[in-house]
Structure 1
């Protein structure tokens, strides 16, 4: 048999998960200089992962990154297989038998739990399910969110928490020309939420959201943002953190924005008629620091959140938030926890439950300190939820670099059927899978449906609707 990676014996790789990491891994393989066949499998008919179902609808420039991923599908070495659940419709073992290597790029699909009493009360939600719901993810289409109470609480102060708060704070007019799903817009139009609390366990010097996200809270049409002036007073270690060069300008900018939101608000002039009487914006975002939820209370439904105030102690960059024993109750009708994503296990693949990732070294999947041959990983499921979309490129490139170093190990001198075996298995099981050309038909139909409404697209939120277009 000819050398693996040659024209007559291409390296065949299956990639599980068509988010940014999956596309970057595919692109790295196709541009590696050897002959390959890359088969990208995705659970949904629609590709792009969190670019489609995670990025906030009012961040359309970020969503446009899907266009560059679409260009990566053009080489003949690339195959897209959508609407296929790996583990159910086809197994990891089957992919290993039909390919030289399998790369897992499933992302981090769920939230970490608070681990407090009452967390499962009705009205207590994960941020991920709310984000997926307003972004039209078919698996979350029918989730219900009761916005009839005037107070919402968000636990966590990262970018996802900021997205949730911003969507709750915006008017229908601010959202109606985005790609937000119509069912979500209808619910948000009836929202009675007036106060949104964004609560973090640490202080303003340790803020997790980016300055860009934070700045947007000062640009909301009908919502003002408040920070208690006493909560932007820093301890000595926090002052040293901000002064340290390794923290960069970003941390200082974030802190300065928090300070800005702590200043006294002046009445606003109406947007459309600036000569009219100044008014107070009807909604309020309250960014609060140094407190942790310890219990959720309610009679079958969330009514109150019990918080304990924290104090920071320790050396710069090593400070810990510890409870002071001082507690208070905050009325709330709905709560979203956003304290970090974690991956979910996949049958046939090792998983570190404490870390919520696949154990690996440089993308090589490990078990008991040994490399599990043929298995690799990239993206959040490899390293945890960190970085921006572009961060996944370097992550995927590293994985493919090490995969290619293993090419002699991967060559078992057996013929690998690759895409032929995938098609055969899925047809035998009557799985209604689609290719990228069929996805482009669905994609164009969404764009066409959005035009009369002035939206970038109107997403299909049921899988059957998508498949009906191409079958």
Structure 2
């Protein structure tokens, strides 16, 4: 019997578990560890709460988790409750599928000011991540600035612009819904260092802005390249740019007397965040493109703002004794191999790139490498060895059946029109699972 430990229960983790079962069938046991008592990683706390169809992929992971080969081991922190070296002693292979849950720093003066957030924190706040449930952003100023030109920036803008009624069917947590209902934001500025042809926004997400009941997306026509140049773009990007052209022409968006303007400010690089104790303004430098790169022109201006959300990317959490690639914010690895018996997959391997589905071939690829490196089982104790260690250390971990109790409690607590009301505190999750929280 082969014994594999996967650290991280998000898409990369469960796709890798699925691949291991396909590779070895009943001759493998897989323990999927997570520091939270709940599985599915960014599907639960990263995907926008109003994108329930995307969250539906968790049903596939449930099918994998429900097999006899796979066990969920929640509420266990690797590096604290158990070390990597201990896991390597217990399992034939240890695979780090921890994702990239931390915000990349802006590296700007003033980013430490109050009401300046990274997108992992801000998205975690409205998605109910226990680390960020107490974030309490102030939404009392009329202008918010979002830094970045990817889909996460669009998610944040859309959530800030939606009316209360438009959250019907979503699983946004109640504390965020209440705060957004009292928001005074009427202007959302999305800053992009480069131009419309360099965005990482997909057509579906851009198109959603045109159908919000009170949002009015705006693009300065002067920022758009000659339309003839669109023909050279790949089809998805061309569709996205078509949306921007429609916004510039004034088509799409709400027809209301009290709109929330969503302004796309291209060729605009943030240079400093200004304020006394909390953000009051953001200084921006106008840029131009040189060989596809944004170069500052020296022309600066300021945007008064009471909230700044930086959507510029993520980095992996360090784990003691695991080599780390500081430049790329991921574990140091060669095509997924970190050290003998130690591997990484997904964003922990390649950085925060690709879609949720990109993790599936990544998971199958890493299992193929493990099969090459480990043609025969090493005879390690696997889950029986971890059971002995957990008992010795009084680690009362959360099983998948415990998670199902948590899930049922969240469904039972749901407000009208919502699929669930997430617990945002770990002790409440443990209590709902029927565990001792004393």
Q: TM-score, normalised by structure 2?
A: 0.96
Could you tell me whether the CA contact under 8 Å between 1:226 and 1:262 is conserved in 2? yes
Structure 2's unaligned 5+ residue stretches are none
Could you tell me whether the CA contact under 8 Å between 2:274 and 2:283 is conserved in 1? yes
Q: Partners in 2 of 1:214 and 1:203 — Cα distance?
A: 15
Matched, 1:400 2:353: no
| Correspondence for 1:447 | 411
Q: Deviations over 1:38-88 (max 9, x none)?
A: 010011011000000000011000011111110111221111101111111
Q: CA deviation at 1:177?
A: 3.2
| Correspondence for 2:237 | 251
> How many residue pairs end up in the alignment?
433
Could you tell me whether the CA contact under 8 Å between 1:110 and 1:344 is conserved in 2? yes
CA 1:227–1:78 in 2, change beyond 3 Å: closer, same or farther?
Answer: same
Q: Partners in 1 of 2:102 and 2:3 — Cα distance?
A: 30
> Which of 259, 262, 277 is residue 282 of structure 1 equivalent to?
259
| Correspondence for 1:389 | 356
Q: CA deviation at 1:268?
A: 5.7
Q: Partners in 2 of 1:351 and 1:328 — Cα distance?
A: 38
Q: CA deviation at 1:266?
A: 8.7
Q: CA deviation at 1:176?
A: 4.2
> Which of 327, 333, 339 is residue 354 of structure 1 equivalent to?
327
| Correspondence for 2:424 | 461
SS at match of 1:108: coil
SS at match of 2:20: helix
Q: Partners in 2 of 1:172 and 1:420 — Cα distance?
A: 50
Q: CA deviation at 1:359?
A: 2.2
SS at match of 1:97: helix
CA 1:464–1:261 in 2, change beyond 3 Å: closer, same or farther?
Answer: same
CA 1:243–1:428 in 2, change beyond 3 Å: closer, same or farther?
Answer: same
Q: Partners in 1 of 2:312 and 2:22 — Cα distance?
A: 37
Q: Deviations over 1:316-352 (max 9, x none)?
A: xxx1110000000100001011111111211121110
Higher mean alpha-carbon deviation, 417-426 vs 130-139, is at: 417-426
CA 1:183–1:267 in 2, change beyond 3 Å: closer, same or farther?
Answer: closer
Q: Partners in 1 of 2:298 and 2:198 — Cα distance?
A: 22
Q: Partners in 1 of 2:202 and 2:381 — Cα distance?
A: 46
Q: Partners in 2 of 1:338 and 1:431 — Cα distance?
A: 36
Q: Deviations over 1:89-111 (max 9, x none)?
A: 11101100001110000000112
Could you tell me whether the CA contact under 8 Å between 1:153 and 1:335 is conserved in 2? yes
Q: Let me know the Cα RMSD of the aligned residues.
A: 1.6
> Which of 211, 215, 236 is residue 219 of structure 1 equivalent to?
211
Q: CA deviation at 1:189?
A: 0.9
SS at match of 2:325: coil
| Correspondence for 2:187 | 195
SS at match of 1:67: helix
Q: CA deviation at 1:143?
A: 1.1
Q: CA deviation at 1:280?
A: 3.0
Q: CA deviation at 1:239?
A: 6.1
Structure 1's unaligned 5+ residue stretches are 1-9, 270-278, 366-371
Structure 1's consecutive aligned runs of 4 or more residues displaced over 4 angstroms after TM superposition are 265-269
| Correspondence for 2:247 | 261
| Correspondence for 1:31 | 22
Matched, 1:121 2:113: yes
| Correspondence for 1:21 | 12
Could you tell me whether the CA contact under 8 Å between 1:268 and 1:281 is conserved in 2? no
Q: Partners in 2 of 1:322 and 1:268 — Cα distance?
A: 35
Q: Partners in 2 of 1:65 and 1:129 — Cα distance?
A: 23
Could you tell me whether the CA contact under 8 Å between 2:246 and 2:252 is conserved in 1? no
Q: CA deviation at 1:281?
A: 4.1
| Correspondence for 1:325 | 298
> Which of 369, 374, 392 is residue 428 of structure 1 equivalent to?
392
Q: CA deviation at 1:264?
A: 3.1
The equivalences for 1:333-372 within 5 A come to 333-365=306-338, 372=339
CA 1:154–1:268 in 2, change beyond 3 Å: closer, same or farther?
Answer: closer
